[in-house]
Amino acid sequence: MTGSDRSAAPTAATIVVAAGRGARLPGEVAKPYQILAGHWVLEHAIAPFEASPHISDIVVVVAADCVAAARARLGGKVGAVVSGGAERRDSVAAGLRALDVRAPDQPAWVLVHDGVRPFVSDGLIERVLAAAVRDGAAIPAVPIADTLKEADGARVLRTLDRSHVWAAQTPQAFRCGLLREAHATVPRDAAVTDDAQLVERIGATVTLVAGDADNVKITTPADLAAARRRIDGDGELRVGVGYDVHRLVPDRALLLGGVAIEHPRGLDGHSDADVLVHAIADALLGAAGQRDIGHQFPPSDAAYRNADSVALLRHAVAMLRADGWAIVNVDATVLAETPRLSPFIATMRARLADALGVASGRVAVKATTGEGLGPIGRGEGIAAHAVAMIRRVG
């Protein structure tokens, strides 16, 4: 078992499989489309791959009658939504075909993930991809804690040795050519339950890496209830509000949301004067009952002269985590007469989500003008408002 292979990994594509109907859950809504904190389970499963710098392209495989709804709702790195088949291997094969269509620039590596595993971590993505790059194929797995019994109906036949038994998880990572070969070679009537077993059938080695006990698969109503408790939280919720404004002056770079924007003037301030980042930091600090960013990183301190505001935001986030808070979401608005900010919004969201340690879907950035009114409307400065929600987790 390779427990901590965190070596640098190249970019990879991801196939997220969500074509099942989830017969063990009551009602007409399939498991991938159950709602957790306002989003599909499937969206939560995709989010870590959206946020990972190692993932360049995502293909989502759903039931045929769900394709239109998924295409309308999913964006970002999701380059294709296609219909799956009756069996898991049919759905993965459909995902591989979709990647072929997106050639010639497809990555040499592919991860396959269950669309009903909403809690995969970036560390797990890194581990399994790095091991696959080294060995050709890798899967995450966790040791079995319970005693295993082989039975014939209700009669125990024998107790199994659990020391060599692991519970496999996803994402599973493969060299693309190897996975395609396995799909093409293993007979259609072969009994296989995951892609690693297909690869094993052609004689290739599959490496185990340390899985994650939190990386649960939602199968039963109890699983769904536990996921809702976890993602919604049983702890205290708090909301904070932040505001910042700076004057536009010549000979300064303009940074908003950590993104450099071409403009004849930039914002004047002791740090890099990124009003959007400052407003978000103040919202988070306020929600946690902490003093504002000016107190935490005072302008009287030369150490913060021209400081990178995103780095200061990361420090504020670390303060909250150390105090037992997790970020639920951030909603921010920039007020600027010029420049036009809509081309930069997606990049701002990604940069801020990375600094906050959350999926980009939990960060909203909007832009508006002052309609010619007041200092903002006259183009004398730029301001930002932010609202943040945090949750007690420790």
User: pLDDT-derived band of residue 103, with 50, 70 and 90 as boundaries?
Assistant: low
Residues making up the chain, counted from first to last: 394
User: pLDDT-derived band of residue 135, with 50, 70 and 90 as boundaries?
Assistant: very high
| 172 Cβ contact partners less than 8 Å away, ≥ 6 residues apart | 111, 112, 113, 128, 137, 138, 139, 140, 194, 195, 196
Q: Residue 363 and residue 339: Cα distance in Å, rounded?
A: 21
pLDDT tens per residue across span 17-75: 999 765 555 556 788 998 887 789 999 999 999 999 899 999 999 999 999 999 999 98
Lowest mean pLDDT among 140-149, 186-195, 226-235, 384-393: 226-235
In this predicted structure, the answer to whether residue 232 has a pLDDT above a threshold of 70 is no
In this predicted structure, the answer to whether residue 287 has a pLDDT above a threshold of 60 is yes
Structural contact between residues 313 and 351, judged by C-beta atoms closer than 8 angstroms: no
Q: What is the pLDDT of residue 5?
A: 43
Please spell the DSSP secondary structure of 295-334, one letter per residue: HHS-TT-GGGTT--HHHHHHHHHHHHHHTTEEEEEEEEEE
Q: What is the pLDDT of residue 116?
A: 95
Q: Residue 293 and residue 284: Cα distance in Å, rounded?
A: 10
The label of the residue with tokens 């980009």 reads 360
Lowest mean pLDDT among 171-180, 239-248, 250-259, 264-273: 264-273
Average pLDDT over every residue of 166-176: 95
Strand 35-36 vs strand 39-40: parallel, antiparallel, or unpaired?
A: antiparallel
Structure-block tokens of residue 38: 């306002």
pLDDT tens per residue across span 317-372: 998 888 888 899 999 999 999 898 999 999 999 999 999 988 888 999 999 998 89
The label of the residue with tokens 């594509």 reads 13
Q: What is the pLDDT of residue 3?
A: 41
Structural contact between residues 192 and 86, judged by C-beta atoms closer than 8 angstroms: no
Q: What is the pLDDT of residue 233?
A: 57
- The pLDDT mean for the chain works out to 89
User: pLDDT-derived band of residue 235, with 50, 70 and 90 as boundaries?
Assistant: low
User: pLDDT-derived band of residue 306, with 50, 70 and 90 as boundaries?
Assistant: confident
Q: Residue 362 and residue 353: Cα distance in Å, rounded?
A: 8
Global pTM? 0.60
pLDDT tens per residue across span 30-46: 889 988 877 899 999 99
In this predicted structure, the answer to whether residue 4 has a pLDDT above a threshold of 50 is no
Please spell the DSSP secondary structure of 193-242, one letter per residue: SSHHHHHHHTT---EEEE--TT-----SHHHHHHHHHHHH-SS-EEEEEE
In this predicted structure, the answer to whether residue 7 has a pLDDT above a threshold of 50 is no
Q: What is the pLDDT of residue 394?
A: 56
User: pLDDT-derived band of residue 105, with 50, 70 and 90 as boundaries?
Assistant: low
